[in-house]
Amino acid sequence: MYGFNINELILWLPAVIIALTFHEYAHGKVADWLGDPTPRYQGRLTLNPVAHLDPIGFLLLLVTHFGWAKPVQVNPLNFKGDRSKGMMLVASAGPIMNLLVAFTATLIRSLAIPEGVVPNFYITEILNGIIFINIYLALFNLIPVPPLDGSRILAGLFPSSELIYQLERYGAIVLILLIFTGIVGLVLSPIASWLYNFFTVITRFVAGPFV
């Protein structure tokens, strides 16, 4: 979404809902696999968007392009095995799920709209929205700054690092500065474009025999 207008909103709304829902569901599911029943007790092991969307964060995401979903609460004390590694797996699950959703949407697009065929505008825009939003959400959450998933992945890789604890204290401020100075977009945009093109090439190759 590059500006607020009703047509764009209607086309991209499914993408935002799908991206946030699958992201949070993945966190909860992996925590459940590791032995923590907290997400299950709180009703987060579902693909029903109502369980995952934060009204204010969702509205802000649509209007300002910056928002949030309802975080999945996890208790690492319930994990089987190493708790730091468990949190790293839970944190990784969200971005990985978003990339899987983006790849699946790209494959559907390649199967439904073969090269050389004039595409249906609405189908193309909805699928493109799902692809772009999921790629950007995955990359954004991999930034190693609290409270994003990347910081928990970093903590799992370097559990004794003092840097992690310093970031915990100032993470929110650092993240806001990165967003509003445009650094996040400057870094993520070329990576997102590369992934978009990579998924397109791979899925066209896979879809080739079927279209």
Mean pLDDT score of the chain:
89
Confidence label for 2 from pLDDT (cuts 50, 70 and 90): very low
Instruction: Say if pTM beats, i.e. exceeds, 0.75.
Output: yes
Catalytic positions = 24
Write out pLDDT tens, residues 161-208.
777 777 778 888 888 899 889 999 999 999 999 999 999 999 999 988
Q: Which residues contact 175 (CB under 8 A, 6 or more apart)?
A: 143, 145, 146, 147, 148
- State how many domains the chain has: 1
pLDDT higher than threshold 60 for residue 20? yes
Residue type (1 letter), 160: S
Determine, yes or no, domain membership for 172. yes
User: How far is C-alpha 11 from the geometric centre of its chain's CA atoms?
Assistant: 18
Determine, yes or no, domain membership for 64. yes
Residue range of the domain that includes 40: 6-210
pLDDT of residue 71: 92
